[in-house]
A and B are shown apart, each in its own frame.
Chain A
Amino acid sequence: MFRALWFDSRVRAWWLQGLLACGAVGGIVWLVLNARENLMRRGITVGFDFMDQAARFPISESLLAYQTTDTFGHAFVVGIVNTVFISVLVIAVSTVLGFALALARRSTHPLITAIAATYVEVIRNTPLVVQLLFWYGMVTVNLPSARQAYQPLPGVFLSIRGFMFPKLAVAGNSTLFWGVVCAALLFVLAVMLAKPVIRKHWKTRLPMVSIAIAMAAVAITAVLLSGRASASWELPYLRGLNFTGGMAFTPEFSALLIGLVLYSAAFTGEIIRGGIDAVGRGQWEAGRSLGLRPWHIMRLLILPQALRIIVPPMTSQYLSIIKNTTLALAVGYPDLAFVVATTINQTGQAIEGIVVLMAVFLTISLSVSLFMNAYNRRISLVQR
């Protein structure tokens, strides 16, 4: 009877799996029990009660308003918003830059391809942290002081205080103004997305996107003319040793943004190039023989087909960009990882801090892959 325990493969599979499950559960329970005992000895209460206490540490910059008297919970939210902000910015800029890089690497001009190839090799074969620290050094040491700031364009300043540029200042009813701007942008976006459906349904050849943009412009102008709100460019100007007014990217943010964008662009560029290369040469030839211009061939024939190849690797690239933003710790930009590290230092609530960090990143990873999978389904080849 006991022989069957080893020699019957089905029985053996069951008890081996039972052993594995017991081992995994037992290991986790052991770690948790140890943790409880150790924390009790150190006098740390486990739980998220500390979230309501005042954080009492400064956050140097944030999109949301933050003071040291705010709670830890609010500090975490501020960190999450900062992480999302830099991620979205890096993803957008590096995708555009990556596309330009892909075109440069595909061009027939030997100098341009050589420069693009060198750039990709250098960036991809050195660690991101080294690059971030390099840019941080460049921004904080090699730029001039605020009084001698570079001024590449009127109202734009580059100095060790960071990167200053004009801000759109809205006076009067600012909620109305921004509401109308957002609605107008969403309208244009909706028309762009729905264009094929509208064309098919109403059998119209009107230039819908141009009309939508014109309508949006009319709406925004109407708000400005109505006198309820007024918008003007607020220029930064030198006062004492620093700039006031306008928008400012701090040196930390600038270094992180430059470093991440340049690093990610090399990867997105290679993915886009791979996608474009994978579309057969016959497609280009067919487009040319139809008399299309090169840019139209790219936009109407090549890119839609290349997207099918580009989207899956691009998903993991975007996810790794989001994960890479945690390297903000190296340059001191207050993203979520920074807030978590500071909280753990101050309160000793290590488990809670790391749980928040893990939960946020797992949520982001999961939702990005769900979104990109849905997008992938939409653009993939429908076989009938």
Chain B
Amino acid sequence: MNTLTPPAPALALPAEAVAIAPPAERSQVMSRLFGDAISALATVVTLALLVYAAKHVIDWAFIQSVWPGADGGACRAAGGACWAFLGEKMRQILFGIYPPAQQWRPAVVCVMLLALSAGSLPPRFWGRTLGVVWIVAMVGAVLLMRGGMLGLEAVPTASWGGLPVTLLLAVCALGLGFPFAIVLALGRRSELPVARMLSIALIELIRGLPLVSLLFIASILLPIMLPAGMSIDSVLRAGAALTVFSAAYLAEVIRGGLQAIPQGQGEASRALGLTWWQMTRLVVLPQAVRAVIAPLTNTAIVMIKNTSLVLIVGLFDLLSSGRVALTDPAWPTPYVETYLFIAGIYFAICFSLSRYAMWLERKYQRTAAR
């Protein structure tokens, strides 16, 4: 198909007009890299920097490093990364001070929550069944972690730690925050002045405050403000603070979706004789939430990252247990390796979610354009 034969007699095209091929893609890349003096200089400088950095990183991470199996002394002597520390402390970082013999329980919880999250991503699985599965899974996860039944040893929340705490906090904050956020968003757009004022006050108050201050309120102020004898678990209190925080931010995203719905939708449902409640549940909310799924996912990423702040009120999430593992005097303090490992776990979760949000956005744009 290289040569284009012009349709025979009627209109003969001049040969030159057909012969010119589009410029090859490859030459464009080369011209971008070395097209003029500045590009060439930029290429050479960045390549030099990259090679220099790569040499040091490889030297640190692979050549001079200490691999699992060695002890703290070997790490002190070596000039490179101390992967032996990660190998030794992996379980402590992932599961905190959970009794070592029982650590299969948090492991099962982590696998279950991650698998369920991955399974909830494709839009065709969304529905009532999925919601029920999530509720069952969350109750099951908490019971499995707590124990004290079915022959499982009871483990108090004070010894929970590591990745399962991070995942449970994130899922709770988002899962419980979402219905709360819908109520706040509807309240903010409500015609009832009291409901509107309360919603605006709550949303703006929480969005104006740093999460640290909310965690302070939950961990210091809440015990003072509850009647004597009534105490709430510290994990639960931090979870409540995160839930309220995520609800305020999710509410603003949902409000954006509500605003995007044309007035006619409400008028049409009123003309059909639907009550306000039916209109909201059947017409308004499904469209509003669908319009903002991508921004909702981005808020979810922010909240997953925010769970690491519970370290400030002394809870043992993934980051805190990593920090505790670093205090072992038998080892040098391999900050970089430990924090890279923890950052890697967060990155894997957040990066895949952000790609997912982009994919969803493109998908909905295509559907809308059709």
Residues on A close to B: CB < 8 A?
Answer: 13, 16-18, 20-21, 24, 31-32, 34-35, 37-39, 41, 108-112, 115, 121-122, 124-131, 133-134, 136-138, 141-142, 319, 323-324, 326-327, 329-330, 337, 340-341, 344, 350-351, 354, 357-358, 361-362, 365-366
Stretch at the interface among B7-15, B95-103, B307-315: B307-315
B43 proximal to A (CB < 8 A): yes
Q: Which residue of A lies closest to B335 (CB)?
A: A137
8 interchain pairs, CB-CB under 8 A: A31-B225, A35-B224, A109-B43, A124-B350, A126-B350, A133-B339, A141-B335, A358-B213
B191 neighbours in A (Cβ, 8 Å) = 13
Query: What is the distance, in angstroms, from B86's C-beta to the closest C-beta of chain A?
Result: 15
In the assembly, what is the distance between CA of A219 and CA of B14, in Å? Answer: 75
B29-59: which residues lie under 8 A (CB-CB) from chain A? 29, 32-33, 39, 42-43, 46-47, 50
Task: Give the B interface residue count (CB, 8 A).
Answer: 53
Of chain B, the residue at the smallest CB distance from A114 is B46
| Contacting pair B227 A126 (CB below 8 A) | no
Assuming the A-B contacts A125-B350, A126-B305, A126-B350, are A344 and B220 also in contact, with contact meaning beta carbons closer than 8 angstroms in the complex? yes
Instruction: Decide: B311 and A129 in contact? CB cutoff 8 A.
Output: yes
Would you call A17 and B194 a contact (CB within 8 A)?
yes
- The answer to whether A21 and B312 have CB atoms under 8 Å apart is no
Bound form: Cα–Cα A329–B323 in Å: 14
Closest partner residue, chain B, to A108 (CB atom): B32
> Which of B135-143, B155-163, B203-211 participates in binding chain A?
B203-211
> Are B210's CB and A337's CB within 8 A?
yes
> Which residues of chain A have C-beta atoms less than 8 A from B227's C-beta?
34, 37
Contact of A126 among B47, B192, B347 (CB under 8 A): B347
Contacts of B347 in A (CB 8 A): 122, 125-126
* CB of B112 within 8 Å of the partner chain: no
- Contact A130 B339, beta carbon cutoff 8 Å: yes
The verdict on A354 contacting B42 (CB below 8 Å), with A126-B350, A129-B319, A131-B343 known, is no
B228 touches A37 (CB 8 A): yes
Check A350/B220 contact, CB under 8 A, given A126-B343, A141-B335, A358-B213.
yes
Known: A122-B347, A362-B209. A38 touches B224 (CB 8 A): yes
Chain A residues near B305 (CB-CB < 8 A):
125-128
The answer to the question of B226 belonging to the interface, with a C-beta cut-off of 8 Å to chain A, is yes
B194 and A20 form a contact (CB under 8 A): yes
Interfacial chain A residues near B216, Cβ < 8 Å: 337, 340-341, 344, 354, 357
Quick check: A324 and B210 within 8 Å, CB to CB?
yes
Q: Are B306 and A127 neighbours in the complex by a CB distance under 8 Å? A: yes
User: Contact at B195–A137, with CB atoms within 8 Å?
Assistant: no
Contact of B309 among A39, A109, A129, A351 (CB under 8 A): A129
In the complex formed, the residue of B with least CB distance to A139 is B335
> In the complex, are the beta carbons of A39 and B224 less than 8 A apart?
yes
Does the CB pair A125–B301 fall under 8 Å? yes
Chain A residues touching B, majority SS:
helix
Shortest A308–chain B CB gap in Å is 19
Closest 7 CB pairs between A and B? A137-B335, A323-B210, A125-B350, A17-B194, A365-B208, A127-B305, A127-B308
9 new A-B contacts at CB < 8 Å, known A109-B43, A354-B220: A13-B191, A16-B192, A38-B224, A127-B308, A129-B311, A130-B319, A136-B335, A137-B335, A142-B335
Residue of B nearest to A113 (CB): B32
B304: min CB distance to chain A, Å: 8
Nearest Cβ on chain A to B333's Cβ, whole angstroms: 6
The reply to whether A130 and B308 contact each other, CB–CB distance below 8 Å, is yes
Q: How far is the CB of A66 from chain B (nearest CB, A)?
A: 22
Complex CA–CA separation, A122 to B348 (angstroms): 10
Q: Is the interface of B mostly helix, strand, loop or mixed?
A: helix
Provide the B190-223 mask, 1 if CB < 8 A to any CB of A, else 0: 0111110010000001011111110011001100
- B225: A residues at CB distance < 8 A: 31-32, 34-35, 38
B188 → A minimal CB distance (Å): 14
Asked if residues A323 and B209 are in contact (CB atoms below 8 Å), the reply is: yes
Chain B residue nearest to A122 in the complex (CB)? B347
A141: chain B residues within 8 A (beta carbon): 333, 335
By a CB distance below 8 angstroms, the chain B residues around A39 are 224
Give complex CA distance A35, B226 in Å. 7
Given known A31-B225, A137-B336, contact A361–B351 (CB-CB < 8 A): no
Q: A129, B333: Cβ atoms under 8 Å?
A: no
Q: How many angstroms from the CA of A57 to the CA of B190 in the assembled complex?
A: 49
The smallest C-beta distance from B183 to any residue of chain A, in angstroms, reads: 11
Counting chain B CB atoms within 10 Å of each CB, the highest count among A110, A111, A138 belongs to A111
B-side contacts of A351, CB under 8 Å: 221, 224
Type the 1/0 row for B153-173, where 1 means its CB is closer than 8 Å to any CB of A.
000000000000000000000
In the complex, A23→B207 CA distance in Å?
23
Cβ of B354 under 8 Å from chain A: yes
* Contact (Cβ within 8 A) A110 B192: no
Question: CA A329 – CA B46 in complex, angstroms?
Answer: 36
Shortest Cβ distance from B177 into chain A, in angstroms?
A: 18
**In the complex, A136 Cα to B336 Cα: how many Å?**
10
Q: A134-B339, A330-B311 known; A362 and B46 CB under 8 Å?
A: no
Q: Which of A34, A111, A121 contacts B33 (CB 8 A)?
A: A111
Structural contact, A361 and B346, CB atoms closer than 8 A: no
Distance, CA A366 to CA B193, complexed state (A): 23
A115 to B198, CA, bound (A): 46
B331-370 Cβ-contact flags toward A at 8 Å (1 or 0): 0010110011011001100110010000000000000000
Smallest beta-carbon distance B328→chain A, Å: 15
Complex interface: chain B residues within 8 A of A17 (CB): 192-195
Q: Which of the listed residues B207, B224, B226 has the most CB atoms from chain A within 10 Å of its own CB? A: B224
